[in-house]
């Protein structure tokens, strides 16, 4: 089962539970009914905040690969030298 199908199943299960509770399959106190209606919006905003925080954390703790950068710079110099030898000017 792929990650997409796992997320879709979870979404279907949560959505059907929310719909059943909201449409009155179970008797809930009015205070709980008031909380249930905007719950999908709250969950969506929470998921967006989590995603933004995760991306920010990953960007803040990103490690540079200095060895790979030096190797790439040397390959660029070799390519420039080869192209200059073949008649290309920079």
Q: What residues have CB less than 8 Å from 84, skipping those under 6 apart?
A: 90
Residue 90 has pLDDT above 80, yes or no: no
Q: What residues have CB less than 8 Å from 20, skipping those under 6 apart?
A: 26
Q: Tens of pLDDT along 6-38?
A: 999 999 999 999 999 998 888 888 888 888 999
C-alpha span between 58 and 45 (Å, rounded):
20
Q: Tens of pLDDT along 27-80?
A: 888 888 888 999 999 999 999 999 999 999 999 998 888 999 999 999 999 999
Q: DSSP assignment, residue 25?
A: S
Per-residue confidence (pLDDT) for residue 32, from 0 to 100: 86
As given in the structure block, the two tokens for residue 12 are 């279907």
Residue 2 has pLDDT above 90, yes or no: yes
Per-residue confidence (pLDDT) for residue 58, from 0 to 100: 94
Counts for the chain of helices (H) and strands (E), in that order: 4, 0
């Amino acid at each position: 089962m792929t990650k997409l199908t796992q997320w879709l199943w979870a979404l279907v299960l949560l959505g059907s539970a929310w719909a059943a509770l909201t449409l009155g399959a179970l008797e809930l106190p009015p205070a709980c009914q008031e909380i249930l209606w905007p719950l999908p919006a709250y969950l969506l905003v929470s998921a967006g905040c989590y995603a933004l925080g995760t991306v920010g954390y990953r960007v803040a703790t990103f490690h540079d690969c200095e060895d790979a950068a030096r190797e790439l710079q040397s390959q660029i110099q070799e390519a420039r030298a080869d192209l200059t030898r073949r008649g290309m000017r920079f």
